Chain A
Amino acid sequence: MRRKQKSDRKITGLLPGIFSVIIFVLTSITWGPRIGFFVLGSIILFYALLIFYTYYRTRHTWTLISTIYMFTYGSLLLSIAPHMIIGSKINFPLESKILLVLTILLFWWLLYLSFTRKLKWRGREILELAAYNIEQTDGSFTPRPLPTGKVNISKSDLNDFARYFQKNLLGLAYWEDSRIVFMPLKYKNEYFALFNPNYNYHEKTWIAINYSGNVSVNISKMDYLDYKEDLAFDELCKSLSDVIVDFLELYIDGREVRIMDKMDELRINVFT
């Protein structure tokens, strides 16, 4: 199937890693490998805290594995740091060896989870599904929401779906006074959404459902420009609304596995 979205070549996902390596190299050159490993280990533990916050926010089970991996990896670096002296024979203590085994095991587990899309934010899939049958026009973007219809849903079902939405990394949900806003989140955009205190989700792509069942949709300019063609904007908004309402109905019917199937069938690159 021909993709509607541009391929993702952003390196945002690699930035924390690149940043850590640069700091590690600089501190190792300046103060020696002992300090370098100590600093890198501290940075990794800090990342573990951030990833734990992601788990706390989403309750996504596999993110807890990421947290544990980062914690063991950071602890490993800290445990070997005192032994990293240039010119002397390195003899790691037992706890370092245990941490090394744990880190390797968790690394492979996480790699497996990544390739089975268990760690993937699904915003790209949702926007791809929304654009599936939408035709090209001469450009009609407008930066405002569109009311798209109404669904019959109870407040408790809507709350449950919002938790499901987050727990399966479809995106983030925001509870407002009279509605819940669902923001599909693309992989590599999660840093800004999760860790920026001034993040304004109202300007992003979202689908809001109020407690009376009224549905509104907003598509951000950035996401619209991420499509290869100028798609009919009105139709695109309605289609995005249909995708989420469809997911909602599948969830209420207890067929949430079909939601994941629909997105997996697109076979979008696991690292985008």
Chain B
Amino acid sequence: MIMDFKQVAKISNYLAKDYAENIFRLIMAYQDISASEAASRLGIHIRTVQDFLEAMTEYGIIEKKEVFERKRPYYRYAIKEKKIEIMIDLDDAFAETNNNPSEYTIKEAKDAGAKFSIARNGEYFSAITIWIGEGRTTKERKISLTTAQGQFLYHLPFPDAAPLSIEEIMNKGSIDKMNKSEILDIVDELHSMHVIEKIF
């Protein structure tokens, strides 16, 4: 089952619980089992077991069946998938970001106050230093740049220049499209630090 990062984080969180192995042992040993039976067997709160079983059901690892036996209906849970696979396809996860044209143009923000350090060959930036805060609380943050990021920022329009799209700047800097994701990353980071202005 291919998941995204949020799904993986959620299921991993459940599987990391110290009772996870015991619940699966019970489910494998029993044909089916209710949440109250499992809770009483393991000595943990029924709500905890219920949440766990519901989460596993949501991801298709366990299946549940509603039953009616002399009392109000309840669920019995049984194993559905005996192999749990967690898979993330990074190409799929970021393909949209890399292939879609940006919906905004960018340029350097006015009075950004950042210091761009030039690389040894003088044709791209190797680092950017930003000062965050004011007065005595000012902190310096230096970001080392990859060559592609350095070339991209070297061609970033000045504050008074016409803004350009990310693709246009990449073309000017002869930057490979494969590097787009790292370009987007630094653009977002510098935008959050008010060094880059986005125009939608």
Interface residue ranges, A against B (CB under 8 Å): 137, 139-140, 142-147, 176-179, 181, 202, 208, 210, 214, 216, 232-235, 237
Contacts and interface: CB of A to CB of B under 8 A. Distances in A.
Interface string B53-96: 00000000000000000000000000000000000000000000
Interface string B147-190: 00000001101111100000000001100000000000000000
Q: Is the interface of A mostly helix, strand, loop or mixed?
A: mixed
Contacts of A145: 118, 154
Q: Is the interface of B mostly helix, strand, loop or mixed?
A: loop
A144 B122 contact: no
Contacts, number: 52
Given A144-B116, A234-B158, 11 more contacts: A137-B160, A140-B158, A144-B108, A147-B154, A179-B122, A202-B118, A208-B122, A216-B154, A234-B157, A235-B160, A237-B158
B127 interface: no
Contacts of B123: 178-179, 210, 214, 216
Interface of B: 108, 110, 112, 115-116, 118, 120-123, 125, 154-155, 157-161, 172-173
Contact of A181 (B110, B122, B125, B157): B122
Contacts of A210: 122-123
Given A176-B121, A178-B123, A181-B122, A147 B108 contact: no
A149 B159 CA distance: 19
Contacts of A139: 110
Contacts of B154: 145, 147, 216
11 contacts: A142-B112, A142-B159, A145-B154, A147-B155, A177-B120, A179-B121, A202-B118, A210-B122, A210-B123, A214-B123, A237-B158
A176 B122 contact: yes
Contact of A143 (B110, B116, B160): B116
A234 B116 contact: no
